[in-house]
């Protein structure tokens, strides 16, 4: 099979669809084409890809024109849509709930098979590809919050862990899933006082166990959220409903009640965000101020550690990419039920019910 790894053209996307190590494994049985510079922002040189057995190409038109199976991180940009070849299979994080109608129309028209990493699910409910990227996002939350709490970041000049005689910072985390749990443990590690709210009591019990009772847990009722935000200097949202837009849990009034120069990290922004005052930002312009509160709403936080994130992606995706490349799409879908859950568009039809609900007019 002909496999392509293009340069990521989404603003601020530094990761790469396959590492040289993955190409080395793939190129033993398949032809791998890598667009020159594809891995440079993640610290992988063209020379490394060549040594791994890749054939280098020099334009996006060539990489898409040669490839049956494309490995990406982010979804193609609108400019790339015209380059897609009829019948291709494309792996990537698509976040379709926030994509424009035009993208869906082109994917249907060209009969692209769209595999959404974030929706691949095991029988036990685990999302094996999204999991390691969620771990990264959660673990990065304290260092990002600390940066914008600094005086030179516009924050209130607070050290998260405090010092003897000066109390540590209170942090509110909405969601006790993978992102939330990793954020909780990381904030505890730097000395914060942490509140975590979730609708799932079993998750909260598990979090109390793994934190040895160091986290304050509450049910995510609106009055609990409002009460907690009044005293918190940092809010981290970690709510996810795969394939759906995240619900608004934090109202403008709640944001207004926070201390001036506090920090909101709306990590849920890739699915629309769950703070009423949020809007997507980029790594080059990551924050804005609304209701006197700093909002950090970058959708692809793990891209800041592009090399680690690219390796983590390989750990989660290798099984699925290898089975399609080796057995072909039809056979892979027959034998791998996990892979089936990630298919959202195929043969000119929307196959994911959540996406079909968003674009009912495109779903016969």
Q: What is the CATH number of the domain that holds 74?
A: 3.40.50.720
State the residue range of the domain holding 82. 2-112+306-362
pLDDT of residue 344: 92
Is 120 part of any domain?
A: no
Alpha helices in the chain (DSSP H): 20-26, 46-51, 60-66, 101-109, 130-149, 178-189, 201-210, 222-231, 252-257, 306-327, 329-335, 337-342, 353-358
Which of 284, 299, 314 is the last residue in one of the domains? 299
State whether 219 and 245 are in the same domain.
Answer: yes
On whether both 190 and 273 belong to a single domain, the answer is yes
160 and 287 inside one domain = yes
Res 173: pLDDT? 98
Cα–Cα distance measured from residue 342 to residue 340, given in angstroms and rounded to the nearest whole number: 5
User: Are 179 and 260 found together in one domain?
Assistant: yes
Which residues does residue 291 pair with via DSSP β-bridges, in sequence order? none
| Residue 331 and residue 215 in one domain | no
> Is residue 136 included in any domain, yes or no?
yes
For residue 154, count other CB atoms closer than 10 A to its CB: 14
Q: What is the pLDDT of residues 255-304, one digit of tens each?
A: 999 999 999 999 999 888 999 999 999 999 999 999 999 999 999 899 99
Q: Is residue 118 part of a domain?
A: no
What per-residue confidence (pLDDT) applies to 163?
96
Domain end point (choices 265, 299, 333):
299
Distance CA 266, CA 148 (A): 14
Give domain status of residue 125, yes or no.
Answer: no
Please check whether residues 20 and 150 belong to one and the same domain: no
Dist CA 8 CA 44 (whole Å): 14
282 and 319 share one domain = no
189 in any annotated domain: yes
- Residue-level pLDDT at 364: 65
Task: Answer yes or no: do 240 and 152 share one domain.
Answer: yes
Q: Which residues of the chain have pLDDT under 50?
A: none
Say yes or no: 160 and 253 in one domain.
Answer: yes
Is the residue at 87 inside a domain? yes
Is residue 119 in a domain? no
C-beta neighbour count of 331 within 10 angstroms: 12
**Which pLDDT does position 235 carry in this prediction?**
98
78 and 144 share one domain: no
Q: Are 344 and 355 contacting, i.e. CB atoms less than 8 angstroms apart? A: yes
Q: How many domains does the chain have?
A: 2
**Of 299, 317, 352, which one is at a domain's C-terminal end?**
299
Q: Examine residue 36 and state whether it is found in any structural domain, yes or no.
A: yes
Question: 154 and 72 share a domain?
Answer: no
22 and 104 part of one domain: yes
pLDDT at res. 40: 96
């Amino acid at each position: 099979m002909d496999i392509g790894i293009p340069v990521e053209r989404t603003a601020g996307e530094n990761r790469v669809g396959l590492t040289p190590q993955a190409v080395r494994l793939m190129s033993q049985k398949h032809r791998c084409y890598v667009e020159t510079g594809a891995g440079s922002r993640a610290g992988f040189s063209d020379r490394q890809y060549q040594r791994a057995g890749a054939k280098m190409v020099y334009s996006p038109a060539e990489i898409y024109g040669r490839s049956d199976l494309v490995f990406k991180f982010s979804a193609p940009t609108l400019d790339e849509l015209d380059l897609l070849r009829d019948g291709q299979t494309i792996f990537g994080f698509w976040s379709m709930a926030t994509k424009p109608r035009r993208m869906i129309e082109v994917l249907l028209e060209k009969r692209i098979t769209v595999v959404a990493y974030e929706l691949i699910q095991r029988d036990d409910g685990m999302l094996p590809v999204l999991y390691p990227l969620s771990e990264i996002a959660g673990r990065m939350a304290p260092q990002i919050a600390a940066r914008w709490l600094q005086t030179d970041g516009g924050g209130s000049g607070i050290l998260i862990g405090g010092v003897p005689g000066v109390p540590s910072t209170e942090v509110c985390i909405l969601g006790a899933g993978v992102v939330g749990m990793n954020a909780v443990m990381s904030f505890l590690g730097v000395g914060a006082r942490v509140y975590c709210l979730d609708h799932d009591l079993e998750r909260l019990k598990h979090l109390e166990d793994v934190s040895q009772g160091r986290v304050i847990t509450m049910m995510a009722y609106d009055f609990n959220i409002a009460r907690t935000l009044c005293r918190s200097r940092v809010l981290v949202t970690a709510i996810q409903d795969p394939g759906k837009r995240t619900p608004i849990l934090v109202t403008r009034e709640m944001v207004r009640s926070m201390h001036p120069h506090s920090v909101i990290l709306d990590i849920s922004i890739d699915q629309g965000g769950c703070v009423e005052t949020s809007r997507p930002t980029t790594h080059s312009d990551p924050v804005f101020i609304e209701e006197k509160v700093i909002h950090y709403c970058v959708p692809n936080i793990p891209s800041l550690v592009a090399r680690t994130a690219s390796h983590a992606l390989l750990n989660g995706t290798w099984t699925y990419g290898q089975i399609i490349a080796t057995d072909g799409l039809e056979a892979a879908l027959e034998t791998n039920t996990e892979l089936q859950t990630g298919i959202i568009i195929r043969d000119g039809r929307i196959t994911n019910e959540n996406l079909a609900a968003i674009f009912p007019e495109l779903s016969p």
